[in-house]
A and B are shown apart, each in its own frame.
Chain A
């Protein structure tokens, strides 16, 4: 004699829909906010007055090993100005903002060429800094 198996219900409980939606929301918020250079190691310099840096199309990092990164990709100093110009394109005003994230102990021979390259590309510099705490 064959015993028929009772069919098992495999539906998602409707009680959990709210939780699932909430978790998805958080997941997409993280994806949208995370920048490509979050994995790079650098300590910001500090200053007394800081303002919100806002969003920018271009972000340049000089990390603790004095390597250059443009939007998270390692680049050489020679390619920096043309690449910034390419990313900025015909943007105007605040859209030409370039975030400069320089490790606090990086020396002038590393950060001055970056400032010059941004200036050549017609970008506006925003030094990313930390507020000084006394």
Chain B
């Protein structure tokens, strides 16, 4: 003879806890969405030295940046920013030694950071090694 089980087991969560479950799920997904790891671009810049003795005369490529976002000066010639990559690749193609691949970046004080990042990205993608040359400020007292 079969005996019927009288009491049924509770297989679903109590309906009073659904609010708590929903709240916990919201918090969990909010935390997941808000904690995003930083992304960026590494950059190697040679350590600055006060007394530089140049043993060998090397003609490096010079790029001058200004507040004008559409153009830069490449070895004195004005070049459109969009054409910079191809021009640099051509200039660096023939250079094999690492010291010849140094590209000196001179920025005017009003050069915005996003423009500087765009230009230095082009230099690195063309195989150049970035070096920053800053304008030295001198105070001259006139008597």
Residues of chain B within 8 A (CB-CB) of A99 are: 38, 40
Residues of chain A within 8 A (CB-CB) of B41 are: 47, 49-51, 126-127, 129
Residues of chain B within 8 A (CB-CB) of A103 are: 113
B8 within 8 A of A: no
8 A Cβ contacts from B47-90 to A: 47-48, 65
With A26-B31, A51-B39 as contacts: A107 and B24 at CB distance below 8 Å: no
Question: Interface residues of B: mostly helix, strand, loop or mixed?
Answer: mixed
Cβ-closest chain B residue relative to A103:
B113
B47 to chain A, nearest CB (A): 5
A124 to chain B, nearest CB (A): 7
Q: Is the CB of A112 within 8 A of B112?
A: no
- Measured between alpha carbons, how far is A113 from B113 in the docked complex, in Å? 13
Given A107-B112, A108-B116, 6 more pairs with CB closer than 8 A: A104-B114, A112-B134, A115-B132, A116-B48, A120-B48, A128-B40
Interface size for chain A: under 10, 10 to 19, 20 to 34, or 35 or more residues?
35 or more
Interface size for chain B: under 10, 10 to 19, 20 to 34, or 35 or more residues?
20 to 34
Question: Interface residues of A: mostly helix, strand, loop or mixed?
Answer: mixed
Contact residues of B with A, CB < 8 Å? 17, 20, 24, 27-28, 31, 35, 37-48, 65, 107-114, 116-118, 121, 132, 134
Q: Is the CB of A108 within 8 A of B65?
A: yes
Residues of chain B within 8 A (CB-CB) of A53 are: 37-40
Q: Is the CB of B40 within 8 A of A50?
A: yes
Residues of chain B within 8 A (CB-CB) of A126 are: 40-43
**Cβ-neighbour of B35 out of A22, A33, A48, A100 (below 8 A):** A33
A52 within 8 A of B: yes
Q: Is the CB of A108 within 8 A of B114?
A: no
Residues of chain B within 8 A (CB-CB) of A45 are: 113-114, 117
